[in-house]
Structure 1
Amino acid sequence: MTSVFSLAVIGIGKIARDQHLPAIADSSGFRLVACASQHAEVQDVRNYRDIDSLLNAEPEVDAVSLCTPPQGRYALARRALEAGKHVMLEKPPSANLGEVNALQEIARANGLTLFATWHSRYASAVAPARAWLSGRQVQTVRTRWKEDVRRWHPGQQWIWEPGGLGVFDPGINALSIVTEILPDGVLLRGAQLVVPRNAHTPIAADLDCIDTNGAPVTAEFDWRHGPVEQWDIDVETNAGLLSIREGGKRLVISGEPVPLEPEREYRALYERFHALISEHSQDVDVRPLRLVADAFLLGRRVETEAFVP
């Protein structure tokens, strides 16, 4: 019989309402009992204004899903872990690598699950792409991840502040796929970051990488694109071209469309979280975040006009 874990969601914003709450409602492994948010409430569950009030009032909660912006998430995750709760982190897992490593140690010391999620890895095309690429020689990889920031982050200022990642907030989704499907690792050689004069984070970026065998891996990220998103990854191999389209909803190999399972990214995340708790294990892969951190270290900053929401 499958265990049902009681769950609390912290941060009720766009991503929680669009993805997390529907996935939890469809889950047989979790029961949503409480939420905490400064500015929003969820019907039919108990609501609190902050995580401390929730944890004090809900000692029987088994797990917490953190859907807040990455800045400040470390403190929230630490409180939950120290209260004995398993923790799931929306991507990116935190504002920097040191915070993720510290959380992993706290979780390990307390025998708890920490799950750093990358929802795009659960897109329908990713697992078949990884399987097909296994054993084949990668020659080049080209990623184009472009969308309209006004559509996906309307009125959100945190994305332009330090730790908000800017265009890497969606771009890290592409990097999570690339690091999942390539049989070898990815190393950054250089980057260009296009930053509005009124922001701290980039609105566009170009990455120049290689895999560990030296094959070129490039990525183009842009938040000034529209009206139709471009979420594409092309991998040229010795056996033909593999193309991931629409963020992982479509897969084409050597010109032939590949039949895929229905899309269920966030439902798969909660299935994975349930399995990790049941197995008393963790899943914390920081490779996508490390590439972003390296881009901020190595990137050449180019100023552009101010961003107007």
Structure 2
Amino acid sequence: MGKIARDQHLPAIAADAGLVLAATSSPNSPGVEGVPHFRTLEALLAEAEVDAVALCSSPQVRYGLAATAIAAGKHVFLEKPPGATLSEVAALEALAGAAGVTLFASWHSRYAAGVEPARAWLAGKRILGGRIVWREDVRHWHPGQAWIWEAGGLGVFDPGINALSIATRIWPRPLFLESATLSLPANRAAPIAADLTLRDATGTAMTMDLDWRQTGTQTWDITVETDGGMLALSSGGAVFTVPGETRHDEDREYPGLYRRFAELVEAGTSDVDIAPFRLVADAFLRGQRETVEAFED
């Protein structure tokens, strides 16, 4: 019941006629007036009638919570990133399959209004190259969140994985990491900035500039150069621009996620796409580290 739960999950659930917020759980934060609240997930599962659980905890503790919910026969919605490691997510997928419940690794940025139009527009084009610039102010978006600077917290890849979730959705071919430089503050275990070069099997490159030290205007842009002109996705994927056309539709990321989750539960299937997470893991595996000045929140 932290910031993302209150800002995004609760409004999306409330707006969907097919969903009911049956209970909440948090060891420290209060619940919602009129809704049963429990300090632990185990207590919630023992006392509340629920069909599914949305886990909005930090990724370092996500596996244990998800495994507990799956063992209780509940469908599970995982906030991004889906876990602290790829192995954890693979284990959860196997547990969900054995239990016959749905597991959904959600990527909210894929549900931004411009993403599917971008995917469709690029499908018939020859891609010449692409660039991601994802720069924001960590003090504004993650104030006092110490977990994000710890091992497994991802640092600047917490927002950066949103860009990668879009890139892996719209790019017609699989992307892999060629090189990376990670900038780690002297007093932190996770990077505050990163530069990546990705390529696909044809050798076409997409570069990525991540930085958490941006002040003023925030930048969440992806551009792709093609033989038919340039595609631009800005404002995190909400604004779609190609030659002769610009679209800017309303925010529908989290409502889209919950619709998808409900569809998966109804169909008895799971959706556990780890392509964005795999690229982040590759950056930590292969990237060069550089130490930069200490960061104080």
TM interval, shorter chain, is over 0.9
Aligned-partner SS, 1:220: strand
Q: What is residue 71 of structure 2 aligned with on the other side?
A: 82
Give the aligned CA root-mean-square deviation in angstroms: 0.8
Aligned-partner SS, 1:139: strand
The separation in 2 between residues aligned to 1:305 and 1:43, in whole angstroms, is 44
- Residue 54 (str. 1) matches residue 15 (str. 2): no
Q: What is residue 274 of structure 1 aligned with on the other side?
A: 262
Q: What is residue 274 of structure 2 aligned with on the other side?
A: 286
Shift of 1:212: 1.9
Aligned-partner SS, 2:233: strand
Identity %: 53
Q: What is residue 25 of structure 2 aligned with on the other side?
A: 36
Q: Deviations over 1:115-156 (max 9, x none)?
A: 000000000000000000002111101000000000000000
- Residue 202 (str. 1) matches residue 191 (str. 2): yes
Q: Deviations over 1:79-109 (max 9, x none)?
A: 0000000000000000010000000000001
The separation in 1 between residues aligned to 2:140 and 2:33, in whole angstroms, is 26
Q: What is residue 213 of structure 1 aligned with on the other side?
A: 202
Q: What is residue 291 of structure 2 aligned with on the other side?
A: 303
Shift of 1:257: 3.7
Contact 1:185 1:211 in 2 (8 A): yes
Q: Deviations over 1:171-218 (max 9, x none)?
A: 000000000001101010110000001100000000111012110111
Contact 2:238 2:249 in 1 (8 A): no
Shift of 1:226: 1.5
Q: What is residue 126 of structure 2 aligned with on the other side?
A: 137
The separation in 1 between residues aligned to 2:212 and 2:134, in whole angstroms, is 9
The separation in 2 between residues aligned to 1:150 and 1:73, in whole angstroms, is 24
The separation in 2 between residues aligned to 1:128 and 1:43, in whole angstroms, is 40
Aligned-partner SS, 1:71: helix
The separation in 1 between residues aligned to 2:255 and 2:201, in whole angstroms, is 33
Aligned-partner SS, 2:23: strand
**Number of corresponding residues:** 296
The separation in 1 between residues aligned to 2:64 and 2:178, in whole angstroms, is 33
Residue number among 46, 59, 84 corresponding to 1:70 in the alignment = 59
The separation in 2 between residues aligned to 1:261 and 1:179, in whole angstroms, is 22
Aligned-partner SS, 1:247: helix
The separation in 1 between residues aligned to 2:120 and 2:266, in whole angstroms, is 27
- 1:1-309 alignment runs, 5 A limit: 12-40=1-29, 41-58=31-48, 60-254=49-243, 256-309=244-297
Return the TM-score normalized by structure 2. 0.98
* Stretches of 4+ aligned residues off by more than 2 angstroms: 256-262
Contact 2:114 2:239 in 1 (8 A): yes
**Structure 2 alignment gaps of length 5 or more:** none
The separation in 1 between residues aligned to 2:197 and 2:168, in whole angstroms, is 14
Shift of 1:261: 3.6
Return the TM-score normalized by structure 1. 0.94
Q: 1:227 to 1:260 in 2, by over 3 A?
A: closer
The separation in 2 between residues aligned to 1:213 and 1:30, in whole angstroms, is 44
